[in-house]
Amino acid sequence: MQALKIVITGSYAAGKTQLIRTISDIETISTDYEVTLDEERQLKRETTVALDFGTIAINEQVTLYLFGTPGQERFDFMWEHLTVGCLGYVVMVDSTRPGHFAETQRLMSRFAEITDAPYIVAANKQDDEAALPVSYVRRRLGVPLEIPVVPCVATDRPSVKGVLLSLLRYIAAQSQASDE
Amino acid sequence: MALEGTLQDMSLSDLFQIFRMGPKTGVLILASVAERGIIYVAAGKVIDAVLATSPGNRVQAAQEEAVIQMLLWDHASFVFRHDANVLNRSPRITQDGEWLVMEGMRRREDPARATPYQSITLDTKLQLSPLPSSAESGVSLDVNQWRILSQVSISPNLRTICEATGIEPAQAIRTVAELMAIGLVEVVIPTPAAKASTKSVAHDPVASMAPAVGSSDLAATASRMGADCGERPQVGRGLLEAIMRRIRGL
């Protein structure tokens, strides 16, 4: 049995848990606990203090595992464990919360130190009429042009499929480039 | 759902740019410590605005002047909500967003000399800017702007300019505001006594301010999976395509 892993990361309340719930074959295992900080409570009643976990069976021999990282920086010691051996990762960002962009940038820098796995950025909540456009999200986060920044609605299955397919296409392209 | 943040996360001029790119329609509400502002955006354009005290809801400024004053804020929270009803609202702001941002920048740089748009009257005395801003280079002026600019140094006030050029007073005031925003013209600062007589802000109350598995076990599993596969798993193109096919089929 081969197990492959994709990590879903992002700042607090970016939609990581929802994305995994939307696409997973199994009832996701989530370790959400009631939040303790007032600021966090305004956004979310419960938060992922450890990680979310979902699976997609590819065939009888291969299963794809989706791991969601805890959003808060105080749990960043978990990130190294999670990224070991991952195919790639998705950085999720809430397109309606520009106040979270700085935190997302710090998280992206930290992940770049931890792993050289390919990643893409998913600009979540693009179904909100007030959401910031994807091009703006790219510019604000300083994402290089070669890295995909894709629109995302974490509650919408086709949209989540699109995010994962974008990551896989990017991984394939990176793999091909390194072979040449 | 709404776009929310603070002006430290995202400036008002950045928001205007986002509204234009959308183009977005809705209501932007800003709240500072002592004031509250509402800006109405229709199809990406800023069409109306009001600035009021909070609490009290006494109007401090409206339309262009309200936006310009909000552009001077550094600390405020904002919420933008999509609202298609704004499309039915009559536009009360004639200047575009870029003009408003430029005027805001000008006031920020030189608040002592900057004059609110509404306070330009036919009795306003104008002068050419002694040191035009860098914005002058490359700027193209329309006919009315050229006509007024040509009269500034020889006319005692805007009324005389209107008489000399035949430009309607309302248009002349708008054009002077544009020339001020570009940095070519400035108002001769009135004496304190004259200032006291030019209170132009309405004081009507605002009608409505629109608006379980253990975590350590899972982490260990995740880590082990990586270890089993090595630092970076080598996945062949065939397997990647199989994964993509499976995801497409979900």
Per-residue pLDDT of chain A (180 residues; tens, 9 = 90+): 678 899 999 988 899 989 998 998 766 655 555 656 666 555 555 555 556 788 898 888 888 989 888 766 666 677 777 788 899 999 999 999 999 999 999 999 989 998 999 999 999 999 999 999 999 999 999 999 999 999 999 999 999 999 999 999 999 999 888 777
| Rounded distance between C-alpha atoms, residue B70 and residue B109, angstroms | 15
| Rounded distance between C-alpha atoms, residue A134 and residue A162, angstroms | 15
Give the per-residue pLDDT at A105.
94
Identify the DSSP state of B58.
B
Answer whether A45's CB lies under 8 Å from A13's CB.
no
Give the per-residue pLDDT at A34.
60
Distances (CA, A) of B69 to A118, B96, B108: 45, 15, 10
| Rounded distance between C-alpha atoms, residue A173 and residue A169, angstroms | 6
**B139 and B187 part of one domain:** yes
Give the per-residue pLDDT at B152.
85
Cβ–Cβ of A130/B244 closer than 8 Å? no
Closest chain A C-alpha to B27 CA, distance in angstroms: 10
In a domain, residue B244? The reply is: no
Q: Which residues of chain B have pLDDT under 70?
A: 110-118, 130-140, 181-183, 189-233
First to last CA, chain A: 30
A135: domain range? Answer: 2-179
Any B CB within 8 A of A23 CB: yes
Give the per-residue pLDDT at B187.
79
Give the per-residue pLDDT at B210.
38
Answer whether B54's CB lies under 8 Å from B38's CB.
no
Number of domains in chain B: 2
User: Which residue among B159, B175, B191 closes a domain?
Assistant: B191
Rg of chain A on CA atoms, in Å: 15
* Domain CATH code at residue A123: 3.40.50.300
**B60 and B13 part of one domain:** yes
Give the per-residue pLDDT at A122.
98
In a domain, residue B202? The reply is: no
First to last CA, chain B: 28
Cβ–Cβ of B242/A59 closer than 8 Å? yes
Cβ–Cβ of A85/B81 closer than 8 Å? no
Kindly identify which residue of chain B lies nearest to residue A137, measuring between CA atoms: B18
Which of A24, A77, A81 to substitute to test the interface with B, most B CBs within 10 Å?
A81
B11: domain range? Answer: 3-88
Predicted confidence (pLDDT) per residue in B169-183, tens digit = 888 888 887 777 666
**B76 and B129 part of one domain:** no
User: Which residue among B161, B176, B191 closes a domain?
Assistant: B191
Give the per-residue pLDDT at B209.
38
Identify the DSSP state of B205.
B
In a domain, residue B239? The reply is: no
**Which positions in chain B touch A157 (Cβ < 8 Å)?**
250
**Which positions in chain A touch B220 (Cβ < 8 Å)?**
81
**Which positions in chain A touch B226 (Cβ < 8 Å)?**
5, 81, 83-86
Q: Is the pTM of this model over 0.80?
A: no
Number of domains in chain A: 1
User: Which residue among B41, B66, B88 closes a domain?
Assistant: B88
**B127 and B79 part of one domain:** no
In a domain, residue B201? The reply is: no
Give the per-residue pLDDT at B155.
86
* Option in B26, B81, B219 nearest A51 (CB): B219
